[in-house]
Amino acid sequence: MNTNLCSVFSNTAFNVNKNSKRLETSGPVFSTPFENEGNLFIEKPPLAEFRPLNVNDKRPALKWLWSSFNNPARNDDAKFFHWIREDQKDREYPFAALNVKINNIPTLTEKEYDEVIAPNCPTWTKDETFQLLELCRVYDCRFQVIHDRFVQLPGQNAKLLDEMKEHYYRICTILNAKENDQNIEEALHLVPFDAAHELARKRQLSLLMSRTTEEVEEEKWVHDELMKILLDRKTASAKEAKRKKEIKVAAVTETPENTIIVHDDVILKSAKHFARAGPSVKGKGPGIYLSSALLFARLLAVPSRHVKSTTDIYAELEVDPLRFMPSEAVASELESLKKEIISLLELRRLAERQEQEIKVVLKRTGPLRM
User: 4-44: per-residue pLDDT in tens?
Assistant: 444 444 444 444 444 444 444 444 444 444 444 444 445 66
What pLDDT, on the 0 to 100 scale, is given for residue 143? Answer: 93
**Domain range annotation of the chain:** 64-98, 110-206, 215-289, 294-351
Q: Which of 51-55, 184-188, 302-306 has the highest mean pLDDT?
A: 184-188
Q: Check if the beta carbon of residue 324 is closer than 8 Å to that of residue 317.
A: no
Give DSSP secondary structure letters for 243-310.
Answer: HHHHHT-S--SS--TT------HHHHHHHHHHHHH---STTS-SSS--HHHHHHHHHH---GGGHHHH
What pLDDT, on the 0 to 100 scale, is given for residue 350? Answer: 87
| Cα gap 135→220, rounded to integer Å | 48
**pLDDT band at residue 254, thresholds of 50, 70 and 90?**
very low
Q: Which CATH superfamily is domain 110-206 in?
A: Homeodomain-like (1.10.10.60)
Q: What's the chain's average pLDDT?
A: 75
What pLDDT, on the 0 to 100 scale, is given for residue 65? Answer: 92
User: Biggest alpha carbon distance in the chain?
Assistant: 114
Q: Check if the beta carbon of residue 161 is closer than 8 Å to that of residue 202.
A: no
The residues, ordered by sequence, that sit 6+ positions from 216 with a Cβ below 8 Å of its Cβ are 284, 285, 287
What pLDDT, on the 0 to 100 scale, is given for residue 357? Answer: 85
**pLDDT band at residue 59, thresholds of 50, 70 and 90?**
confident
SS3 state of residue 66: strand
Of the ranges 212-226, 262-276, 345-359, which one carries the lowest mean pLDDT score?
262-276
Percent of the chain with pLDDT over 90: 23
Q: Check if the beta carbon of residue 96 is closer than 8 Å to that of residue 73.
A: yes
Let me know how many helices (H) and strands (E) the chain has, helices first: 13, 4
> Mean pLDDT throughout 54-60?
72
| Residue 128: other Cβ atoms inside 10 A | 19
The residues, ordered by sequence, that sit 6+ positions from 165 with a Cβ below 8 Å of its Cβ are 143, 193, 195, 198
What pLDDT, on the 0 to 100 scale, is given for residue 265? Answer: 43
The residues, ordered by sequence, that sit 6+ positions from 28 with a Cβ below 8 Å of its Cβ are 8, 12
Sign of the C-alpha dihedral computed for residues 15, 20, 22 and 27 taken in this order: negative
What pLDDT, on the 0 to 100 scale, is given for residue 35? Answer: 44
User: 324-361: per-residue pLDDT in tens?
Assistant: 666 777 778 888 888 888 888 888 888 888 888 888 88
| Phi/psi at 66 (5° precision) | -90, 95
**pLDDT band at residue 291, thresholds of 50, 70 and 90?**
low
The 10 Å CB-count burial string (b at 16+, else e) for 244-262 is: eeeeeeeeeeeeeeeeeee
What pLDDT, on the 0 to 100 scale, is given for residue 288? Answer: 62
Q: Give the angle subtended at the CA of 229 by the CAs of 228 and 233, to the nearest 5°.
A: 115
> Mean pLDDT throughout 41-56?
68
User: 97-134: per-residue pLDDT in tens?
Assistant: 888 888 889 888 888 999 899 998 989 999 999 999 99
What pLDDT, on the 0 to 100 scale, is given for residue 290? Answer: 66
